[in-house]
Amino acid sequence: MKKLNLVKTLQTLAFCLLTATAYGQKSNILPNLSADHAKQVLICDGNQDFKTPTSEHIANEKIGIEHALTTHSLQTKMVKSTRLIDHLKMGSKQTVVAFGTSLTAVGAWVDQLRTVFNQQFPGQVNLINGAQGGANSDWGVKNLDEKVLKHRPDCVFIEFSINDAVGSRRTSVDHARKNLNNMIDRILVKIPSCEIILMVMNTPVGHTRERRPNLPAFENNYRDVAKERGFQLIDHGKAWNTFLKKNPSRFLFCVPDTVHPVRLGGLEVSTPTMAMALGLQLGNPETNNEQPCFDYLFRMMDVDKNKAVTRAEFDQYWMDSFNKSDRDGNGMLDAKELWSEELVSGLDDNKDGKVSYSEYSASFSKHFTKRDKNSDGSLVRGEIW
């Protein structure tokens, strides 16, 4: 037993040394990685310091612990440097702005991350959500002063590739990249010490993926610029794609409109991804109950604007969403229409190789029944909003 422990310790030391060497080699562009942070990365990678969200807070919905651990382990390997965490550990206050699209604006991960920051560094982090639904990088360039620079942030997260990639907007990959570099340059001119972290978000499926035919090229802008300029890249796409492969129906439950992760999606994938990449302890993000994405979705469903969502309104919304993906209008979704073989095999209950509406909606219709506490078939204030 002792011998085993010794071997393990030696292995850990060797890994530490290798990691430290790897970080050392990068030190010309990443001067602020502390030994402490490197150690934390290793601890996290061994899952010794990792607490997954517990299920009892999440109304019978079991959190994918195994997945969260995989995500955790995947993401920690990507950690290069987070000056943010180093500064927090030294006790300084930090202002962080999350700048981007609806994936940030109504992303529950922002609220959950704020909670996690407060648990580990009480009162030290001012995390500002400076994102806007529908925004692309042209909007980002135009609104940088007001939404970002005005706050004099110590750290900025940026993501616009998801909307730059919308085909009907006719934004070129080059133009999107120029916009990204424009924002970065202006941040660094005004605040040279600002840490910039680029993000590639979750990959949409179905009709929302269809609208973005060239998405990977726009995402690669972020990967390339991060590499060129020595910034950290947080890749939500990788974690979400792993999640989709592992549990397709759970994926659709967590991303019911095919692009926006809801609160549980934040808890299962997005927030662990952020925490691990930043070098934060995950803590207890589930204590945050905000659900900005469902608030937004329910407003869309409430077509008669009477501040209540009936079962019929709820079903109509998802039926419309299904129909948008059903490009050939045959009432069934195939892998091409869903942009995912895994989703078809995961949702196709009767194994006919296609996904019907009832198969499609099965995974997320419980979003309604769970919320309808008095079972009167209508969701009102208190149940939603």
Binding residues (CB under 5 A) for Ca ion: these are: 302, 304, 306, 308, 326, 328, 330, 332, 348, 350, 352, 354
CB of 102 to Ca ion, least distance (A): 22
CB of 326 to Ca ion, least distance (A): 4
Closer to Ca ion by CB, 289 or 350: give it.
350
Closer to Ca ion by CB, 45 or 348: give it.
348
**Token pair listed for 221:** 């802008």
Closer to Ca ion by CB, 31 or 377: give it.
377
CB of 338 to Ca ion, least distance (A): 9
CB of 378 to Ca ion, least distance (A): 8
Torsion of CA 65, 249, 325, 344, to 10 degrees: 120
Helix (H, G, I), strand (E, B) or coil at 310: strand
Burial of 190 (0-12, 13-18, 19+ CB in 10 A): middle
**Token pair listed for 204:** 């949409």
Torsion of CA 131, 96, 86, 229, to 10 degrees: 50
Q: What angle do CA 274, 275, 279 make, to 5 degrees?
A: 115
CB of 347 to Ca ion, least distance (A): 8
Burial of 284 (0-12, 13-18, 19+ CB in 10 A): middle
- Decide: 253 and 99 in contact? Cβ < 8 Å: no
Helix (H) / strand (E) containing 337: helix 335-338
Closer to Ca ion by CB, 133 or 377: give it.
377
Closer to Ca ion by CB, 282 or 301: give it.
301
**DSSP structural state of residue 91:** T
Closer to Ca ion by CB, 328 or 341: give it.
328
CB of 355 to Ca ion, least distance (A): 6
- Decide: 158 and 143 in contact? Cβ < 8 Å: no
Angstrom distances, CA of residue 37 to CA of 45, 72, 89, 194: 12, 15, 10, 19
Closer to Ca ion by CB, 24 or 377: give it.
377
CB of 209 to Ca ion, least distance (A): 15
Question: Which residues fall within 8 angstroms of residue 380, CB to CB, at 6 or more apart?
Answer: 307, 308
